[in-house]
Amino acid sequence: MNKLKLLSGKINFGSTLALTILVGIWSIPTIGLLITSLRLRSEAEISPWWDGFFNPLETVWSLEAYQNSLESGMLDSLVNTIAVTVPATILPLMIAANAAYAFTFLNFKGKELFFAILVGLMVIPLQSALIPVLKGMVWFQKTFDIPLTGTYASAWVVHSAFALPLAIYILRNYMLSLPTSLIEAARVDGASYYQIFWRLVLPMSIPAIASFAIFQFLWVWNDYLIAFIFVGEQKSVMTYRLLRMLGQYGEGWQDVAAGSFISLVVPLIVFFALQRYFVRGLTAGAVK
């Protein structure tokens, strides 16, 4: 017994050490980017970033790159990115939660076939559908005189549509792990389907919802292609603004380093706020 405890302690120590090393290696580019953004441009051009890391007291630190980034319109782009990302995260979750509940607890004709088709839609790359979707929006705009292209709403629709298959799949797998006895007891007590959904299933599915919210939020926040095509330059998001700051010949590389850290703030807040649900939401339902 003592040998087993000693062995398990060694395994835990080895795993912790290995993970620490991996985290350190993975963090090297981020640390280098941060140090580069805080150094004087004159020093950053002639010496590597690790000089500032190993000699912090001899390095002259400056916030000039951050000031340049903010003056280049990063705050406006931050507002535009939030305006695109938040609705594009909430909207698919609202629809997917209802759909996953129907696929899990309701019986209707063709349920398994529809779910199989839904799973198959996850393999369709977003890039292959951009032109048909854009043409459809232009037709809709001309037919009903409702502007879509060049607005936030067009990005919400596209992001939500392509996020729904994965969202429904994750939420359904999680809902399958919920205790059916509790659902049946609610039905016996006379609760309607929507009462069961809002008062029982939805609160118990918070870990899965939070897990997908992290994925979707980070995906939309870091997106460039959809925002550039459907929203445009007039309401540029942060990814597009960073590209413009870089310049034609890459002369704005230090401003981009500072702007990248400005764009990191909100995703980090979201991740650390929801991280306690992350593993629970992904692993629940994997083994039933």
Burial call 50-60: b when 16+ CB within 10 Å, e when fewer: ebbeeeeeebe
Q: Are 278 and 216 in contact (CB under 8 A)?
A: no
Same domain, 9 and 100: no
Is the Cβ–Cβ distance between 230 and 17 less than 8 Å? no
Q: What is the pLDDT of residue 86?
A: 92
Same domain assignment for residues 28 and 140: no
Based on the fold, state whether residues 212 and 95 are members of the same structural domain: yes
25 within some domain = yes
- Residue 253's DSSP bridge partners are none
pLDDT score recorded for residue 29: 86
The answer, yes or no, to whether residue 14 has pLDDT greater than 80, is no
At residue 285, the pLDDT reads 46
Confidence band, pLDDT 50/70/90 cuts, at residue 286: very low
Q: Residue 115: pLDDT band by 50, 70, 90 thresholds?
A: confident
Domain presence at residue 35: yes
Does pLDDT of 249 surpass 80?
Answer: no
Task: Tell me, yes or no, whether 288 lies in a domain.
Answer: no
**Domain range for residue 42?**
1-62
Using alpha carbons, list the distances in angstroms from residue 231 to 43, 83, 288: 38, 11, 43
In the Cβ-directed half-sphere of 96, how many Cα atoms lie within 13 Å? 31
Does residue 259 lie within any of the structural domains?
yes
Mean pLDDT of 87-92: 93
Q: Domain ends where: 36, 62, 88?
A: 62
Domain count, the chain: 2
Task: Please tell me whether residues 74 and 12 are part of one structural domain.
Answer: no
- Same-domain status, 139 and 228: yes
Say yes or no: 198 and 279 in one domain.
yes
- Same-domain status, 32 and 170: no
Domain end point (choices 62, 79, 110): 62
Against a cut of 0.95, is the pTM above it? no
Which one of 62, 82, 101 terminates a domain?
A: 62
pLDDT at 265 over 90: no
User: Taking all residues of the chain, what is their mean pLDDT, rounded to a whole number?
Assistant: 82
DSSP symbols for the chain = -HHHHHHHHHHHHHHHHHHHHHHHHHHHHHHHHHHHHHB-HHHHTTS-THHHHH-TTTSPB--HHHHHHIIIIIHHHHHHHHHHHHHHHHHHHHHHHHHHHHHHH---TTHHHHHHHHHHGGGS-GGGGHHHHHHHHHHHHHHH----TTSHHHHHHHHHHHHHHHHHHHHHHHHHTS-HHHHHHHHHTT--HHHHIIIIIHHHTHHHHHHHHHHHHHHHHT--HHIIIII-STT--HHHHHHHHH-TTSTTHHHHHHHHHHHHHHHHHHHHHHHHHHHHHHHTTT--
List the one residue out of 34, 52, 54 whose CA is nearest residue 43.
Answer: 52
**Same-domain check for residues 19 and 146:** no
Whether 152 and 83 have beta carbons less than 8 Å apart is answered as yes
Within 13 A of 227's CA, how many CA atoms are on the CB side? 24
User: Does 288 score more than 50 pLDDT?
Assistant: no
Q: Is the pLDDT of residue 88 over 90?
A: yes
Residue 89 has pLDDT above 90, yes or no: yes
**pLDDT for position 91:** 93
Residue with tokens 């043409």: 135
- pLDDT category at 287 given cuts 50, 70, 90 is very low
Q: Are residues 161 and 226 in the same domain?
A: yes
Q: What is the average pLDDT across 157-172? A: 90
Does one domain contain both 47 and 88?
Answer: no
Q: Which of 46-55, 85-94, 237-246 has the lowest mean pLDDT?
A: 46-55
Residue 205 placed within a domain: yes
- Residue 263 has a pLDDT of 86
Quick check: 90 pLDDT over 90?
yes
Residues 9 and 130 in one domain: no
pLDDT tens for residues 175-226?
A: 888 888 888 888 888 888 888 888 888 888 888 888 888 889 989 998 888 8
Per-residue model confidence (pLDDT) at position 225 = 87
Q: Are residues 126 and 99 in the same domain?
A: yes
Does pLDDT of 113 surpass 80? yes
